[in-house]
Amino acid sequence: MSRPNLLEEGLIKLRESDTDIDVILAPRFEKVISLLDAYTGEIELFNPAYGLVGTQDHDELVIKHILDSIAPLGIIYRLLKEQNSIDNETPARIADVGSGAGLPGIPLAVCLPDTPFTLIERMGRRSVFLRNALAKLGITNTEVEEKEMEKAAPNRFNLITFRAFRPLEKSILKGLSRLRTKDGILAAYKGRREKIDEEMAAAEKISIGKTAGKKLFTWEAIPCPVPFLEGERHLLTIKFTN
């Protein structure tokens, strides 16, 4: 049986786990809950036709997709502050690549209404869903680009999020890297630390362009537990050495 207050309970747990999440959510808490509830409803409405997520269960959608998207909010907020201190003339911009149903981009945009977001999605019907969802929710800090990652304009984003790419092969790293600003960071939603270590050991052997023999990036896997979800969750941050 579905728990009617599951989203609110989960957000409270996240606020209790990270001071920055509490600071971000406290002033708009009821509004955030309302928008995320409406967004969840949009996914449930269109999922059968569009194949947006791999579940029809409401609680599983809330836990594995909505709360999972927001779990690293405090980490992302601190990364954005870092980026804003590097370039304080313009606000840091976030891209959600391979956005699909808008995860994690839309939940993050709901929580960070003053941060510009771009949802990059190559599939037409999913892009239509994203535009409709943003319009229905009245989210104005987010735009949709219906493009393949490789065809999106480069050098624009301070932070690039993604959930679906696995493993991080050379072509994917190259494609993601070209979208970032000079000091831009990749932020990947990942699971078990053991799998991350294996994936990054392989990724560190990759050379991009003329950088063979040089260390391309540094990385860190930061734990970000998801309320009500068993198993490890991490935000994998990748900073390039340029």
Domain-located, residue 1: no
Domain-located, residue 104: yes
Each residue of 111-165: pLDDT tens digit?
999 999 999 999 999 999 999 999 999 999 999 999 999 999 999 999 999 997 7
Mean pLDDT of all residues in 198-222: 81
Each residue of 25-49: pLDDT tens digit?
999 999 999 999 999 999 999 999 9
Domain-located, residue 122: yes
Domain-located, residue 66: yes
pLDDT of residue 110: 98
Of the candidate ranges 57-71, 154-168, 187-201, the one whose mean pLDDT is the lowest: 154-168
Dist. CA 152–CA 147, nearest whole Å: 6
Domain-located, residue 37: yes
Residue 213 reports pLDDT greater than 90: no
pLDDT of residue 135: 98
CA distances from 53 to 66, 103, 136 (A): 11, 10, 19
Whole-number average pLDDT of the chain: 92
Domain-located, residue 74: yes
Domain-located, residue 20: yes
Number of domains in the chain: 1
Token representation of residue 18: 């990270």
Mean pLDDT of all residues in 73-96: 86
Domain-located, residue 166: yes
Domain holding 109: CATH number? 3.40.50.150
pLDDT of residue 83: 84
Full residue range of the structural domain in which residue 207 is found = 6-240
Residue 85: which residues within 8 A CB-CB, separation 6 or more? none
Complete DSSP assignment for 5-42 = THHHHHHHHHHHH-HHHHHHHGGGHHHHHHHHHHHHHH
Position with higher pLDDT, 42 vs 83: 42
What predicted TM-score, i.e. pTM, was given to this entire model? 0.94
